[in-house]
Chain A
Amino acid sequence: MPTNNFVESSFWNFDALFQPQQHPARDSHDTFFLDAPSTTKRLPEDYVERVKQIHETGGYESRGYVYDWKREEANKNLLRTHTTAVSSRMLYQLAQKPFAPKKYFSIDRVFRNEAVDRTHLAEFHQIEGLVCDRGLTLCDLIGVLHDFFSHLGMTKLKFKPAYNPYTEPSMEIFSYHEGFKKWVEVGNSGMFRPEMLRPMGLPEDVQVIAWGLSLERPTMILYGIDNIRDLFGPKVDLGLIKKNSICRLGIN
Chain B
Amino acid sequence: MPTISVGRDRLFAALGRTYTQEEFEDLCFSFGIELDDVTTEKAIVRKERHLEAEEDADEDEEVIYKIEVPANRYDLLCLEGLAQALRVFCECQQIPTYKLADVSKDAMLKMHVKPETSQIRPYIVCAVLRGITFDKARYNSFIDLQDKLHQNICRRRTLVAIGTHDLDTLKGPFTYEALPPSSVNFTPLKQERSFRADELMEFYKSDLKLKKFLHIIEDSPVFPVIYDRNRTVLSLPPIINGAHSAITLETKNVFIECTATDLTKAKIVLNTMVTTFSEYCANKFVIEPVEVVYPDGKSHIYPDLSIYNMEVSLPYVNGLIGVSLEAEEVTKLLNRMQLHAKQSTSDNKQAKFVVSVPPTRSDILHPCDVMEDVAIAYGFNAIKDKAIVDNKGSKRLAASLKLLPLNELSDLIRKEVAMVGFTEVLTFILCSKKENFAMLNRKDDTSKAVIIGNPRSSDFEVYTPYPCSLTAVRTSLMPGILKTVAHNKDHPKPIKIFEVGDISVLDDNNDVGAKNLRQLAALYCGANAGFEVVHGLVDRVMEKNGVPFVSSGDKSGYYIERSDEPEFLAGRQARIIYKGKHIGTFGIVHPEVLNNFDIPDPCSFVELNIESLL
Binding site for B on A (CB under 8 A): 2, 4-9, 22-24, 28-29, 32-43, 58, 60-68, 77, 79, 103, 109, 111, 113, 115-117, 121-123, 131, 133, 135-140, 142-148, 157-163, 165, 168-171, 191, 193-195, 207, 232-239, 241-242
B369 contacts across to A, CB distance below 8 A: 168
B321 near A138 (CB under 8 angstroms)? yes
Stretch from B80-88, B161-169, B377-385 forming part of the interface with A: B377-385
Given the known interface contacts A5-B516, A193-B368, A237-B488, the answer about A160 and B72 at a Cβ–Cβ threshold of 8 Å is no
Say whether B581 faces chain A, with CB atoms less than 8 Å apart. no
A145 contacts across to B, CB distance below 8 A: 393
B371 contacts across to A, CB distance below 8 A: 168-169
Closest to B376 in A: A161
Closest to B424 in A: A241
Give bound CA distance, A133 to B395, whole Å. 13
A79 near B368 (CB under 8 angstroms)? no
Closest to A171 in B: B380
A139 contacts across to B, CB distance below 8 A: 321-323, 383, 386-387, 390, 392
Closest 7 CB pairs of A and B: A139-B322, A161-B32, A37-B513, A137-B322, A143-B393, A234-B483, A163-B70
Q: How many whole Å from A148's CB to the nearest CB in chain B?
A: 7
Say whether B253 faces chain A, with CB atoms less than 8 Å apart. no
B372 near A168 (CB under 8 angstroms)? yes
B495 near A238 (CB under 8 angstroms)? yes
Question: Which of B391, B397, B406, B459 is close to A4, meaning CB atoms less than 8 Å apart?
Answer: B406
Closest to A1 in B: B404
Known A24-B155, A35-B452, A123-B429; further 20 A-B contacts with Cβ < 8 A: A7-B450, A22-B155, A32-B454, A34-B451, A36-B506, A43-B511, A63-B308, A64-B365, A111-B429, A121-B428, A137-B319, A139-B322, A144-B397, A145-B393, A158-B384, A161-B375, A161-B380, A169-B375, A234-B483, A238-B495
B487 near A235 (CB under 8 angstroms)? yes
A7 near B512 (CB under 8 angstroms)? yes
Question: Which of A36, A60, A140, A235 is close to B392, meaning CB atoms less than 8 Å apart?
Answer: A140
Give bound CA distance, A8 to B487, whole Å. 32
Give bound CA distance, A169 to B380, whole Å. 10
Q: How many whole Å from A12's CB to the nearest CB in chain B?
A: 8
A42 contacts across to B, CB distance below 8 A: 511
17 A–B pairs (Cβ distance < 8 Å), ordered by A: A4-B502, A5-B510, A7-B514, A67-B265, A111-B429, A113-B454, A142-B384, A143-B388, A143-B390, A144-B397, A146-B393, A159-B380, A161-B380, A168-B366, A234-B483, A238-B491, A241-B425
Say whether B504 faces chain A, with CB atoms less than 8 Å apart. yes
Instruction: Identify which of residues 65-93 in chain B touch chain A, using a CB-to-CB cut-off of 8 Å.
Output: 70-73
Question: Which of B70, B264, B320 is close to A207, meaning CB atoms less than 8 Å apart?
Answer: B320
Instruction: Identify which of residues 501-545 in chain B touch chain A, using a CB-to-CB cut-off of 8 Å.
Output: 502, 504, 506, 508, 510-516, 518
Given the known interface contacts A159-B380, A169-B371, the answer about A67 and B264 at a Cβ–Cβ threshold of 8 Å is yes
A2 near B404 (CB under 8 angstroms)? yes
Closest to B395 in A: A143
Give bound CA distance, A160 to B491, whole Å. 46
In terms of DSSP, what is the predominant structure of the interface of chain B? mixed
B449 near A194 (CB under 8 angstroms)? no
Give bound CA distance, A140 to B491, whole Å. 50
Q: How many whole Å from B72's CB to the nearest CB in chain A?
A: 6
Give bound CA distance, A84 to B312, whole Å. 29
B429 near A41 (CB under 8 angstroms)? no
A29 contacts across to B, CB distance below 8 A: 454
Give bound CA distance, A162 to B308, whole Å. 23
Given the known interface contacts A67-B265, A157-B384, A241-B424, the answer about A8 and B453 at a Cβ–Cβ threshold of 8 Å is no
Say whether B280 faces chain A, with CB atoms less than 8 Å apart. no
A193 near B366 (CB under 8 angstroms)? yes
Closest to B426 in A: A232
Give bound CA distance, A144 to B459, whole Å. 38
A28 near B454 (CB under 8 angstroms)? yes
B264 contacts across to A, CB distance below 8 A: 65-67
B423 near A77 (CB under 8 angstroms)? no
Give bound CA distance, A232 to B486, whole Å. 15
Say whether B484 faces chain A, with CB atoms less than 8 Å apart. yes
Q: How many whole Å from A105's CB to the nearest CB in chain B?
A: 8
Instruction: Identify which of residues 460-495 in chain B touch chain A, using a CB-to-CB cut-off of 8 Å.
Output: 460, 470, 473, 480, 483-484, 486-488, 491, 495
Given the known interface contacts A138-B322, A234-B487, the answer about A40 and B454 at a Cβ–Cβ threshold of 8 Å is no
Closest to A232 in B: B426
Say whether B49 faces chain A, with CB atoms less than 8 Å apart. no
Q: How many whole Å from A173's CB to the nearest CB in chain B?
A: 10
Give bound CA distance, A143 to B380, whole Å. 12
Given the known interface contacts A77-B513, A79-B473, the answer about A238 and B375 at a Cβ–Cβ threshold of 8 Å is no
